[in-house]
Amino acid sequence: MNKYLVIGNPIEHSLSPLLHNYWIKKNNLKATYDKKEANSDDLKNLIEKVREKNISGINVTVPFKKEIIPHLDRLTLDAEVTQSVNTIFSTNEGKIVGHNTDIGGFENAIKDTKYSLLEKRALVLGSGGVAPSIIFALYKMKVSSVTLTNRTKSKAEYLQNLYNNTIIKENSWNEIKVVDWGELPEFDMVVNATSVGLKKDENLDLDFSKIGKNKFFYDVIYNPKKTNFLNKGNDLGNKIENGKKMFIFQAAEAFKIWHNVQPNIDNEVIELLD
Catalytic sites, residue numbers: 65
CA–CA separation, 182 and 28 (whole Å):
50
- Prior bond to 63 cis, omega within 30? yes
Please check whether residue 62 is in contact with residue 8, taking contact to mean a CB–CB distance below 8 angstroms: yes
* DSSP for the chain, written as a single string: -EEEEEEESS-TT--HHHHHHHHHHHTT-SEEEEEEE--GGGHHHHHHHHHTTSS-EEEE-TT-TTTTGGGSSEE-HHHHHHT---EEEE-TT--EEEE--HHHHHHHHHHHHT---TT-EEEEE-SSTTHHHHHHHHHHTT-SEEEEE-SSHHHHHHHHHHHHTTHHHHHTPPPPEE--TT-----SEEEE-SSTTSSTT-------TTS-SS-EEEES--SSSS-HHHHHHHHTT-EEE-SHHHHHHHHHHHHHHHHS------HHHHHHT-
CA–CA separation, 181 and 192 (whole Å):
13
